[in-house]
Amino acid sequence: MKADLPKLRSAASVQFSRFSANRMAMISVWLLALTVALCFLGPYAFPFTAEDADFDNISAGVDLFSIHPFGTDDYGRDLLIRVLEGGQVSLMIGFLGALVAGVIGVLYGAVAGFAGGRTDNIMMRFVEVLYGFPYVILVILLSLLLGGGTLALFTALVFTLWLTPAVIVRAQAQSLSRREFIEAARAGGMTSWQIVTQHIVPNTISLVIVYGSLLVPEVILSESFLSFLGIGIKEPQASWGNLIQIGTSQMATDLRLLLLPGTLLALVLFCLNFIADGLRDAFDPNEH
Amino acid sequence: MDCETPLTQMNTNLLSLHDLSVHFAHGGGQTTVVDRVSLTLGAGEVLGIVGESGSGKSQLLFALMGLLASNGNATGHALFDGQDLLSLPTKALDRVRGASLSMIFQDPMTALNPYKRIGDQLAEGLIHHQGLPRAAALAEASRMLDRVRIPDAPRAARRYPHEFSGGMRQRVMIAMALLVKPKLLLADEPTTALDVTIQAQVLDLMLEIAHETGTAIILVTHDLGVVARICDRVAVLYGGRIMEEGPAETMLSDPRHPYARGLLATTPRLEAAITPRLPTIPGAPRSGGAMLPSCPFAPRCSDKMPACDHMPPLRDIGPERRLACHLEPAP
Amino acid sequence: MIPFVAKRLWNGFLTLAALATLTFFVMRLAPGGPFSRNRKISPEVQANIEAAFHLDEPVYQQFARYIWGILRGDLGPSTRFRDYSVNDLIAAGLPTSLTIGFWAILVAALVGIALGLAGALRRNGWTDYAAGAVGVIGIAIPIFIIGPLMQAYFSVYLGWLPVGGWNDGWRSLILPVLVLALPNIAYISRLTRSSTIEVLRENHVRTARAKGIGPARVLLGHAMTGALLPVIAYLGPASAALITGSILIETVFALPGIGRFFVDAALNRDYPLVMGITLVYGGFLIIFNIMTDLVRGWLDPRIRHEG
């Protein structure tokens, strides 16, 4: 296994340099990092939180040099802080959700692909049936079942999104399990679980990174979509989805309530998509 | 000038190449894969072009067919039937290719359209070029499939490529290329992808039908055994240049160029299809824009001499034989 | 061809059965019944209502009743709109949803394929860049942002089109269809572009060019099938995306379709309506996937023969 290390490293560095040569992807990384920093650190720069109502400044307009640079909503809550804190929720659900769904999918797929035979058949039939479900409907049903709220939404999203990584990893695991080094590991007395976690999973990493990076925008989009419909994250907890919903309802009088969270959400989705594209080109140049 | 034959004289030939070069542009640079090739071919003649992979032999054929990749570019002249193939606009070229000029490709597994019945794929050319009604063209196609010994041809015509083996598919390709009775058939390693046991059958079939229709053939191959069996004349290509050219019989028994000799020496039995074991030299095909003046084979040549820094032109060295090497003094 | 279809029908049936079962139990297990919000009802009234909706029966009996109902095509009464059955509500909302979905997928397919082809055939030309821009916008800006923005511009500011509703004939259709089609245009054009570029490099297309049949025939007769197969394969999942989209579109544009009914029913725990619409969506998804598979099988003999 030692002998493989330098080769692995050089492959990784090739991929890294290929990724960093992709201008759009690199710009996206920096923009995304900036947005994340803004969402998580920005609120500390202000003496109030998103829930604090400023009764002297209700529905204040945009005034970049005032204490409320983007104004307040009709409860007197600072709009910028609300959007930034909403961003915390959306980003956290997005990254955590993709991570958890990715881990579940990878393990499920690796086990199915490695086990093969009937186990594989049953496991994949289950995935196939779930795949046939209308995805949003399933999320909505599950989040209802779990009683609504942030955690329910998170669980529902994870439950519906682990399918794609599972299918992809399973195919990879299937071809890996026929390779010599797996035979060798088995002959060397490793247990099946050790083989799955130490050999199969590490060898699917690049695939997982590529598809995992596509999961992040998907989770963020689904979260904001459900919150927009009133099924996901609910007031007074802010998220980009429910802020956009409020923005829509007041669009006729005040477009900024829609534009501020909307722009940030679009920016993040935009960056994530370009990063995912860049990763795919870096890891899998044949695809293009 | 490599070619001493004046242009006017060439017109009696079916095909005459004059200083044909193929370049590929990439990333600001340019690679030359075929370098000033001049050749002639008479009606019904079978010419073998021999060389290792990377010698530019396939690109030479693609250039004639107007099938170079979009970053490829061919210069020089290729007079075929009175027209210069290299300067014809696509519309005019489309009246030639598939009609009087056909091609068989290297990989039969991917060369046929997987979504169309093979009968339709065969008939297409007849319908387009000869204006045959569909039914007549299909009947013709099925007759041709029978001719290339595909069992149960009328039913086979209604099948799709994936239902045939590689050897059968290449027979289909041969049928497709010769169905239009072309004057010239370009065959790009037509049997390389096939099982050794059926290579000979397929080649013989191709030759047989070509003789019936009076079709000339340019056969690109790296297999000297094949050349010895079916070619009238041979040209040896290295690094995009012709090294030696002449009648198959005399050239194979008495090669003059060190590379040609090497090729022959590494083919132990002419009847067996064995790839020459000469390693490809690093750095060839040459790149970097300018064509180097030196002989491309010099780095690997055991008879290298100082004069090899300048590539000699092809010179006549005997009846119908030409050679580009300093070893042989001019007669 | 027959085993090919049969296999897909059987899979579709399994999925639908699983969906029906899952929906039923999720709805039964979900906290808060449909009437728990009305605190004021007396226990007797509550008991009466529960009896009317068979909520007093043991779960297995309710399940049997529900499955029997589905088999007879009767989805039961709605608990929110007391005077209507679920069948009535679906019958009322489905035409709206189908009309929008149909036009959206048509527009998305035609525009997406055209943009993708134009991009592939004239790479780095202006159509290619335009398609790329549409692609980025369509993928990065969600429906529920672009929808309201278009409303704000075309309806409120310019006053050209109705803000929402279903009462202005074709003018009511334009914005919803456009907004719903946009992300699909983005995806389809990207897919068409890359698959066309790939197919044009394939050996069999080179063979076709060698036949001298002209660029148009090479493209339409030989390259098109291979280029469109991935696009057609995407149309199956796209119909699922369309369901998601139609839920949003109907909410944003206040359209009386089943998507809006669904959200409403979910928020108000109208179990029978949620289950009914879920089944309708599931059924459409399955039918669409089967149709997609059939078209792919029809175009590609290898898929057809594989079964």
State both tokens at A284: 């899998």
Instruction: Looking at mean pLDDT, say which of B74-78, B106-110, B324-328, C280-284 comes out highest.
Output: B74-78
Query: In the predicted model, is pLDDT for residue A167 greater than 70?
Result: yes
Instruction: Kindly give, in sequence order, each residue whose CB lies less than 8 Å from that of residue C197, ignoring residues fewer than 6 positions away.
Output: C120, C123
What is the average pLDDT value for chain B, to the nearest integer? 82
Which pLDDT score, from 0 to 100, does residue C36 have? 55
pLDDT interval class at B271 (50, 70, 90): very low
Looking at beta carbons, which residues of chain C come within 8 Å of A244?
A: 144-145, 148
If you average pLDDT over residues B135-156, what whole number do you get? Answer: 90
- Cα-based distances in Å from A256 to A59, A251, C39: 11, 8, 40
Per-residue pLDDT, averaged over A98-107, amounts to 88
Q: What angle do CA A90, A94, A95 make, to 5 degrees?
A: 125
Cβ distance of C212 and B103 shorter than 8 Å: no
* Nearest residue to B50 via CA among B238, B206, B279, B201: B238
pLDDT band at C40 (very low <50, low <70, confident <90, very high): low
Q: State the chains in contact with A (3 or more Cβ–Cβ pairs under 8 Å).
A: C
Name the band, by pLDDT with cuts 50, 70 and 90, for residue C37: low
Q: Is the separation of the CB atoms in B193 and B169 below 8 Å?
A: no
* CA–CA separation, B197 and B168 (whole Å): 13
pLDDT tier at C142, thresholds 50, 70, 90: confident
Structural domain includes residue A288: no
Cis peptide leading into residue C256 (ω within 30°) = no
Q: Is C257 contained in some domain?
A: yes
The answer to whether the Cβ–Cβ distance between C210 and B95 falls below 8 Å is no
Q: What angle do CA C61, C62, C65 make, to 5 degrees?
A: 85
* B115: chain C residues, CB-CB within 8 Å: 225-226, 299-301
Q: Which residue of A has its CA nearest to C133?
A: A270
**Smallest Cα–Cα separation from B172: which of B97, B119, B226?**
B119
CB atoms within 10 A of CB C187: 21
Query: For position B8, what pLDDT does the model report?
Result: 44
Quick one: average pLDDT of A14-42? Answer: 80
pLDDT tens for residues A201-222? 777 777 777 777 788 888 888 8
Given a cut of 70, is residue B39 above it in pLDDT?
yes
CATH number at residue C158: 1.10.3720.10
> Which one is predicted more confidently, C225 or B193?
C225
pLDDT at C161 over 80: no
Give the number of other Cβ atoms within 10 Å of residue C133's Cβ. Answer: 11
In a domain, A63, yes or no: yes
pLDDT tens digits, A52-80: 666 666 666 666 666 666 666 666 677 77
pLDDT of C306 higher than 90: no
Residue A106 burial by Cβ neighbours in a 10 Å radius (0-12, 13-18, 19+): buried
User: What does the alpha-carbon distance between residue C139 and residue A214 come to, in Å, rounded to a whole number?
Assistant: 12
B35 vs B41: CA distance, rounded Å: 18
CA nearest to C302 within chain B: B162
Of the two residues B84 and B8, the one the predictor is more confident about is: B84
Radius of gyration of chain A (CA): 22
Please answer whether residues A68 and A56 qualify as being in contact, where contact means their C-beta atoms are separated by less than 8 angstroms. no
Instruction: Answer yes or no: is pLDDT of B103 > 90.
Output: yes
Query: Is residue C43, in this structure, part of any structural domain at all?
Result: no
Instruction: Kindly state the percentage of chain A with pLDDT values over 70.
Output: 82
Closest Cα in chain B, distance from residue C205 (Å): 7
Min distance C207 CA to chain B CA atoms (Å):
6
At C32 the pLDDT is 63
In whole angstroms, give the CA distance from residue A283 to residue B10.
53
Nearest to A141 among C26, C152, C267 (CB): C26
Beta-carbon contacts of B130 under 8 Å, excluding residues fewer than 6 positions away, are: B137, B180
* The pLDDT value given to residue B270: 45
Give C214 to chain B, closest Cα distance, Å: 6
- Count of beta carbons in the 10 Å neighbourhood of residue A188: 9
Query: Which contacts of A50-58 are long-range, i.e. CB under 8 A and separated by 24 or more positions?
Result: A50/A77, A50/A78, A50/A81, A50/A82, A50/A84, A50/A85, A50/A86, A50/A238, A51/A77, A51/A236, A52/A77, A52/A78, A53/A77, A54/A78
Query: How far from A43 is each of A82, A89, B31, CA to CA, in Å?
Result: 9, 13, 58
DSSP string of B12-75, one letter each residue: TSSEEEEEEEEEEEETTEEEEEEEEEEEEE-TT-EEEEE--TTSSHHHHHHHHHT---TTEEEE
List the subunits that have 3+ CB pairs under 8 angstroms with C: A, B
Q: Residue C265 is part of which domain span?
A: 91-269
CATH of the domain at A198: 1.10.3720.10
pLDDT the model gives residue B285: 44
Q: Please provide the size of chain B in residues.
A: 331
Q: What is the pLDDT of residue C16?
A: 83
Q: What's the whole-number mean pLDDT along residues A146-168?
A: 81
Structure tokens at B128: 């387009």
Residue A236 in domain: yes
What single string gives the DSSP state of each residue in C239-287?
HHHHHHHHHHHHHHTT--SHHHHHHHHHHTT-HHHHHHHHHHHHHHHHH
What's the rounded mean pLDDT across residues B6-22?
72
| pLDDT range class, residue B273, cuts 50, 70, 90 | very low
pLDDT of C154 over the 90 cut: no
Answer whether residue C279 shows pLDDT above 90. no
pLDDT tier, B119 (very low <50, low <70, confident <90, very high otherwise):
very high
List chain C residues with CB under 8 Å of A164.
none
The DSSP result for B298-330, as a single string, is: GGG-TT--GGGGSPPPPEEEETTEEE--TTSPP
Residue A33: domain span: 4-283
Q: Give the number of other Cβ atoms within 10 Å of residue B295's Cβ.
A: 26
Chains C and B touch each other (3 or more Cβ pairs < 8 A): yes
- In a domain, residue A22? The reply is yes
- Please give the mean pLDDT across all residues of chain C: 81
Give the mean model confidence (pLDDT) for residues C11-15: 81
In a domain, C277, yes or no: no
Tell me, yes or no, whether C83 lies in a domain: no
If you measure CA to CA, which chain B residue comes closest to C202?
B110
Contact indicator for C252, C143 with CB cutoff of 8 Å: yes
Report the C-alpha gap between B111 and B105 in whole angstroms. Answer: 7
The DSSP secondary structure of B62-123, one letter per residue, reads: HHHHT---TTEEEEEEEEETTEEGGG--HHHHHHHBTTTEEEE-S-HHHHS-TTS-HHHHHH
* Contact (Cβ atoms closer than 8 angstroms) between residue B246 and residue B233: yes
Interface contact C212-B98, CB threshold 8 A:
yes
What is the rounded CA–CA span in Å between residue A235 and residue C40?
26
Average pLDDT for B15-40? 85
**For residue C54, is it within any domain?**
no
The amino acid present at B290, given as its one-letter code, is A
Query: Is A96 a residue whose pLDDT tops 80?
Result: yes
Residue A125 is assigned to a structural domain of this protein = yes
- Greatest CA separation for chain A: 75
Q: Is the pLDDT of residue A287 over 50?
A: no
**Strand B216-221 with B184-188, pairing:** parallel
Taking contacts as CB-CB distances below 8 angstroms, the residues of chain B near C300 are 114-115
Of B53, B51, B56, which is closest to residue B17 (Cα–Cα)? Answer: B56
Q: Any idea what DSSP says for residue A286?
A: G
Tally of domains in chain C: 1
The answer to whether the CB atoms of A144 and C30 lie below 8 A apart is: yes
Structure tokens at C170: 């074709």
**Confidence grade of residue B10 (pLDDT, cut at 50, 70, 90):** very low
d(CA C163, CA B281): 72
- The model's confidence at residue A175, banded by pLDDT at 50, 70 and 90, is confident
- The answer to whether position C225 is within a domain reads yes
**Burial letters for C198-232: b for 16+ Cβ neighbours within 10 Å, e otherwise?**
bbbebbbbbbbbbbbbbeebbbebbbbbbbbbbbb
For residue B259, give every residue at least 6 positions away whose Cβ sits within 8 Å of its Cβ, in sequence order, or none. Answer: B236, B238, B243, B244, B297, B300, B301
Residue A246 lies in a domain: yes
Are A59 and A71 in contact by the 8 Å Cβ rule? The answer is: yes
DSSP C125: S
Cα separation, A81 vs A44, in Å, equals 9
Q: HSE (CB half, 13 Å, CA atoms) of A266?
A: 18
Residue A74: what are its φ and ψ, rounded to 5°? -80, 5
CB B251 within 8 A of CB B234: yes
ipTM over 0.90: no
**Pairwise CB contact (< 8 Å): B103 & C210:** yes
- pLDDT category at B102 given cuts 50, 70, 90 is very high
Q: Six-digit token pair at B111?
A: 């060369």
Residue C291 within any structural domain of the chain: no
Residues A224/A240, Cβ–Cβ less than 8 Å: yes
Cβ–Cβ < 8 Å for B233, B49: no
Q: Is A249 on the interface with C (CB under 8 A)?
A: no
Mean pLDDT over residues A264-270, rounded?
87
- Put simply, the answer to whether C203 touches B160 (Cβ < 8 Å) is no
Any domain includes C129? yes
Asked whether residue B9 carries a pLDDT value surpassing 50, the answer given is no
pLDDT at A170 over 80: yes
Q: Tell me: pLDDT of A16 over 70.
A: yes
**How many domains would you assign to chain A?**
1
User: Which of chain C's residues have a Cβ under 8 Å away from the Cβ of B65?
Assistant: 209-210
Under 8 Å between Cβ of A35 and A267: yes
Task: Tell me: pLDDT of A18 over 50.
Answer: yes
pLDDT at C191 exceeding the cut of 50: yes
pLDDT of residue C307: 54
Q: Is A57 left (phi over 0), alpha (psi -120 to 50) or beta?
A: beta
- At A174 the three-state DSSP class reads helix
